[in-house]
Amino acid sequence: MSSSKHGHTTHKGSSPTYKSWHMMMQRCTNPNNQQYKDYGGRGIYVCQEWFEFAGFLASMGVRPEGTSIERIDNNSDYTPENCKWATRKEQQNNQRGNVWIEFNGETRTQSDWAERIGLKPHSLYQRLQHGWTVENALTTPPLQRGNRANSRKSK
């Protein structure tokens, strides 16, 4: 199928959906692509039906504004069962390098916990790096500016 038949590329450029498909294909199939080592180079493939843009479009639909393609299991391939349109925040919570913290039977990323308790992610990281228990790090309220004297008491 030519690009002019699907309506996602014109003389004005490509649609966001087409750009997402094209970038996915490049990451997984082009050894000269800067991101290839993290995708095709580590065995992440694109399913056969998505090698044509029309197949990708039929499975995923038009990309909603503010989203990009995400693999639900980031160690698996680009397939209809493993992909969805996700916001940047959703994608950040699905990265290989995330630190996962379990507390009170709930497992979340470090940055997700920080947001939930009203703390900057780096502040939570620092608490844990300085030997705070997970419980204390997650239950001690953020310090107000100029209130450092009380920080040692909350450990």
pLDDT tens-place string over residues 36-56: 999 999 999 999 999 999 999
Number of C-beta neighbours around residue 119 at 10 A: 21
Position 142 scores a pLDDT of 82
Q: How many CA atoms lie within 13 A of 87 on its CB side?
A: 2
Q: Which tokens sit at 47?
A: 């399913």
Helix and strand totals (H; E) in the chain: 7, 6
- CA pair distance 56, 50, nearest whole angstrom: 5
Q: Which residue has the higher pLDDT, 90 or 68?
A: 68
**pLDDT, averaged across the chain:** 85
Position 117 scores a pLDDT of 87
pLDDT tens-place string over residues 105-138: 988 878 888 888 888 888 888 998 899 999 999 9
Q: How many CA atoms lie within 13 A of 108 on its CB side?
A: 17
- CA pair distance 57, 8, nearest whole angstrom: 10
Position 52 scores a pLDDT of 97
pTM: 0.62
